[in-house]
Structure formats: structure tokens, C-alpha cells
Structure 1
Amino acid sequence: MITLYACSTSQADNAGSEEIARISHAEADITKVGTVTVNYGSFDLELISNGRLEARRRALVPFRVQEQIVNVVVLEGQSVTAGQILGRLEPFTYQKRLDDATNSYEQALIDLEDRLLGFGYSLSDTASVPDNILKMARIRSGYNNAQSALTEARRNLSHTTITAPISGVISNLEAHEQNPSSAFPHFCEVLDINTMHLVFHLLETEIGQVKTEQQVEIFPFALTGETFKGTVTSINPAVDDKGMVRITVMVPNPGRRLMDG
């Protein structure tokens, strides 16, 4: 009996071997790395924060006396100068009080002169009257009280004409004609917006990068694409409960384009 043995390799086995050989001999990917020359020097550090613009000066115009509002002669946004008339209250009551105070003062003046004559002195030459006699005569004649009441009456009458305490623009006008002044918390506000204050906050850890006289750039949300420049004027030395420090910047406002708020 003759027995024959034969061995062979399948086509699939050959293909797998070729793939393993190809992978094992594939070239590795090359990673390129760029380099730059390091130079010693300073670099700019930019700090960005949101803030609030405020008028450099703000004056609340109150009603110093209470009466019916007769006139309001300004509008919101109107420019005014210091001392300009803004409105008027009915003056009758305060004019009468001034007249009464004037009469009382004149009567006290006559009484004072009579008392001085009783001591042998004249009101036209008070410099020669001893201080103790003059003081006693002024008190007993009611002159001091009459003089004080007259000053107050004049002051109250003057307050029926409402004037601007500073130059600026009218804001938050509350008063309306033919209404009692007691119906409103105040007449209006006057804002000096020729120069603005920008108030913002930085973290305590950032405050070392800021100093007074430092320049700041401002990008208002309402004026897209426009930039204003300001100068740091003050740094609050106190840190608030959130770890923030208040910074104030003075910003010129040409054309009054920047608004309070």
C-alpha cells in the first residue's frame, strides 16, 4: 500500500501575510513643529470691564417752599445756565409774610430807638452805646426776633422763583403747572454732562495693574464702533464684599453724545 501526503497554502493566508508586511513597513507620519525666537521685553496687558457713565455734576432741584406751581418754563434735555429761572410758585402767601415781617421789624426798630433814648443814647450812633446796654435794648424791644423773621421771610419769598443751581441740561423733570408742589418729590435735576465719570469695578487681584492718570478706552453700547478716551482719576482704597474695587475715570464728552446711566 502506498500512501501519499501533500501540503498547500491557501490564497487567503497569503493575502493576510502581505497586508501585515505592508503595515509593518509603512512610513510614520511626520509632525512639523514651528519655532520662534524668544526676546526679552514687556508686553501689553488688557483689562476689560463693564461700567456705568455718570454726569460729572448732578444737582437735584427741590421745592424749598410749598405752594401752587404757576409756571414751568423748561423742558427735559434743555440746556440751562446757573441762576436761570426754571419755574415759579404762587408768591402771594410768602409776599404777605414778608410784608408782615417788614412791619414788625420797623416797629421793633422804633422800640429799640426809644429804649436807647431812655439811656441817653441815639440809634444813629450805636458805636458809642456800651455793649451790655445795646444788647439789652435789642432783646427787650424785640429787634433781634424781628430781624431774624424778616430775613427768613425774604428768603422764603425768593424760593418761590426756582432757579438752576448749576449749568447743564434738565433731566427727570417732575413738576407740572397748576399742581401743588407737595405732589412732587422735586422739581427736576440738572446734569453737567460736558465731562462724564465712568465708574467700573475690577477684582482685587487686578488692581495692581491700574493707577491714576492711566488712559482708558471706552466703547459705548449705544454708539457702536465709536471709541472715547478717558483718564483714571481715583481708585477706591476699600474692597467691597464681592472682592471688587471701584475705579473712576473722567471722560470728555464733546457734543454731549454720552448719556448719564
Structure 2
Amino acid sequence: MRTQHVFYLLIFLSGFLIACAEEKEKGEEIPMETFREEVQPTSVQTSRSQRKSFDYLINATGKIEASSQVMVIVERQGYLVDLTVSEGDRVQEGHVLAMLDNSDSKFALEKAQVELRSRMAAFENEKLGYPTIYDNPAVTVETLAEWDSRLKASSGVLTAEISLREAEMEIEKSTIKAPISGTVADVQVKTGSLVNAGDEVCEIISLGQLEMRVKVLESDINFISNGQTAEIYPVSGGEEGLRGQVIAINPKVDENGLVQVTIKLQNQGKLLPGMNARAIIRAPQNDSLVVPKQAVVYRSGRPVVFTIENNQAIWNYVEVGKDNGKEMEILDGLTADVEVIVSNNVQLAHQAPIQILNEAM
């Protein structure tokens, strides 16, 4: 029996010693340095912060327009007896676009001519009643002209001359001509139709020079001035390398806080008036501290740039400025000529070990 008790006692002592050894092992802390050594460094690419001229890009959308675009309208009522153009036709200034029936105008013209001849006869008869004026060689030219004016007014010559001019203008209005050289668009009338004064005939568009009108935020207008360059990208695509120049800035802000800017296209490609396009206006900013846009990440809504120290990523809160799609302006929190991380930085932690693969361009 005693031997059995000794055996159980040995088993108990063995279990107690093993438990103590485990508690001692659990109580020992693993040094942080040992933990860091076990973490694999993150491979990153880097670039450098630079102080240089920075192109701030202002994006705006608008429509392509012709610099000269005139709507041709009818100036008198009548039947359209001839339409000489179709949409897409090229015309020169003064080209006849359409003709109205002018039979009544011709009759009015003949009537005005007869009336003028009658009044001129009355004027000549009245002159005979003033021989001391018209037969006197001592009377000056100025005096004769003054008397002519008086007698023409009293005999009705002046009124008849005005009536004749009105009849001639009505004849002229019967012929509708192109006010400018360009391309015919939006023909609104048909041969044989009755038209009224003010009706639209067609539009003449000068395609030799195109413009684009865009709306720019009032916060950006101070960065724009006449002469700045712009890049034009049609919404439909297919056109690259179209350039323009700012030629006008409307000095008024609309109800939406936008300002109209006019851009003159230097090359138009296959653009047509009415096309939608996007314009990028370059606004150079001198002596700005910039980093590649990929260097800026956001943590809890705040911009962060990682720099490098002792092969570790160092977290830097920064204040950012303008962004041109490739580079970002840094207003505070960073200095020039500092190596910054531009890849694999989204999930980086402060003092995380890193391995530089190569310096990014």
C-alpha cells in the first residue's frame, strides 16, 4: 500500500513541475525588435518632392460654336418663288439665297417713279416764279441750294423721292442674300410657301474659325487670363491634339457661380458647331512644392505623404493645394527634395519596414 502512495505522489510532483514550466514560458514577453525582424519589408517605389513651376489644370465643358454665325431672316411678306441653296452648301457674301414674288413691289416702284416726275415738273414751274433768284448771276451757290430745298419741299419733290427710295428698298428685300461667307445650315422654308417679315430662312455658319464657350467656377477665374493655352477634347472622341487660346472672359458671375470663358480654336480638325467638348485650361503656378499624385494617400479623411528614414516609412500629415492629375501641390507638412513613397503606400503604417525597388519617374 505504501508503494502505491509513493507512486501517486511522484505523478503529482511531475504534473506540478510541468505546469510551472508552462506558466514561466507564457509569462516571458517577446521583444518588439524581434517582432519587427519577422515582418517582411514592403517593396516600394519612390520619387522626390520638387519646388518648380506647376501647371494647374482647370476643366470645363461647353459647346463648339462658329465665330461668325448669322441667321438669315425675311424682311417683307410674300411668296417664296425660288430657293437656290440647300443645307451644306458653301456660299459667298452677297450670294442670292432665295427670291420672293415682287410683282406688287415693281408696281409700287413704277408708281413712285411717275409721282417723282410729276413733282419735279411742279418744282421746275415754281422756279420760274423767282427770276430774281435763279436768273441773277450774283446769287451764290449756297443761296441757290437753299432755295432748291425750299421749293422741292413745297412742290412735294422731297416726299416723292422718299417714296421712290422705299419702293426700291422693297424690291431689294425681295432678293434674300447671304450676309456673310460660310456654309448653309437649318433651312426653314420651302419654295412656294408664304413667308412673313421676321421668318427664318436659314443659318450661315463660317467654319473658317471655331470657338468654344465654357463655364468656369468663380473660384478658378483668378487663374485665367487672355492668351492662356487650352486643350480641347470632343465628348464624341476621335480628335486629339486640338489646341485653343483664351480670347475673352465675361466680367460677370451667373446665378450658379460660373463665369463664361471664350476659347479660340487654333486647329479645328473635324469639329462642327454644336458639338459638346471638354476644355483643359493650363494655369501655370510659379515656385510650388509638388509631389507625384500617387504619393498622397488619405487616412481618416486627412492627406498623408510617406517619407523614408532608416529604411522605414515615416507618416507625414500634409496640407494639399491644387491638383493637375499628375502632380499635387503641397502647401505645408513637407520640404523640397525629400524622398517620398509613390507605390504600395495605401496600407503602410508608420515606421513600417520598406524595401526600395527603384526610384519612380
Is 1:260 aligned to residue 266 of structure 2? no
What percent of counterpart residues are identical? 26
Range with bigger deviation, 203-212 or 32-41: 32-41
Structure 1 distance, partners of 2:163, 2:197, is: 28
**Partner residue of 2:319?**
none
Q: Secondary structure at the match of 2:115?
A: helix
Distance 1:221 1:127, change over 3 A: same
Instruction: Tell me, yes or no, if the aligned pair for 1:56 and 1:197 is still in contact at 8 Å.
Output: yes
Instruction: Tell me, yes or no, if the aligned pair for 1:53 and 1:198 is still in contact at 8 Å.
Output: yes
Q: When you count strand as a share of all residues, which structure comes out higher? A: 2
Instruction: Tell me, yes or no, if the aligned pair for 2:242 and 2:268 is still in contact at 8 Å.
Output: no
Q: When you count helix as a share of all residues, which structure comes out higher? A: 1
Structure 2 distance, partners of 1:152, 1:18, is: 120
> Of the candidates 174, 185, 190, which is equivalent to residue 160 of structure 1?
174
Structure 1 residue runs of 5 or longer lacking an equivalent are none
Q: 1:132 Cα deviation (Å)?
A: 5.0
Aligned pairs for 1:59-74 within 5 A = 59-74=70-85
Letter aligned with residue 161 of structure 1: T
Q: Secondary structure at the match of 1:237?
A: strand
Distance 1:39 1:152, change over 3 A: same
Q: 1:112 Cα deviation (Å)?
A: 0.8
Range with bigger deviation, 244-253 or 50-59: 244-253
Structure 2 residue runs of 5 or longer lacking an equivalent are 275-361
Structure 1 distance, partners of 2:70, 2:76, is: 18
Distance 1:24 1:155, change over 3 A: same
Q: 1:227 Cα deviation (Å)?
A: 3.0
Q: Deviation digits for residues 2-25 of structure 1, max 9, x if unmatched?
A: 665452439x97998699589946
Instruction: Tell me, yes or no, if the aligned pair for 2:243 and 2:267 is still in contact at 8 Å.
Output: no
Q: Deviation digits for residues 78-135 of structure 1, max 9, x if unmatched?
A: 110000011101110111111111111111111111111111238xx99475455333
Is 1:9 aligned to residue 15 of structure 2? yes
Aligned pairs for 1:89-128 within 5 A = 89-120=100-131, 121=134, 127=141
Structure 1 distance, partners of 2:88, 2:227, is: 32
TM-score, normalised via structure 1 length? 0.86
Distance 1:214 1:117, change over 3 A: same
**Partner residue of 2:244?**
230
Q: Which has the higher contact order (CA 8 A, sep 6+)?
A: 2
Q: Secondary structure at the match of 1:41?
A: strand
Structure 1 distance, partners of 2:117, 2:88, is: 46
Instruction: Tell me, yes or no, if the aligned pair for 2:116 and 2:160 is still in contact at 8 Å.
Output: yes
Range with bigger deviation, 138-147 or 246-255: 246-255
**Partner residue of 1:209?**
223
Q: 1:27 Cα deviation (Å)?
A: 2.6
Structure 1 distance, partners of 2:242, 2:189, is: 35
Q: Deviation digits for residues 163-219 of structure 1, max 9, x if unmatched?
A: 100000111111100010129821111111211111001111111221111111101
Q: Secondary structure at the match of 2:219?
A: helix
Structure 2 distance, partners of 1:19, 1:51, is: 73
Structure 2 distance, partners of 1:232, 1:142, is: 58
**Partner residue of 1:186?**
200
Q: Secondary structure at the match of 1:234?
A: strand
TM-score, normalised via structure 2 length? 0.63
Structure 2 distance, partners of 1:183, 1:230, is: 39
Q: Secondary structure at the match of 1:95?
A: helix
Distance 1:66 1:228, change over 3 A: same
Structure 2 distance, partners of 1:102, 1:157, is: 13
Q: Secondary structure at the match of 1:137?
A: helix
Distance 1:35 1:107, change over 3 A: same
Letter aligned with residue 53 of structure 1: I
**Partner residue of 1:143?**
157
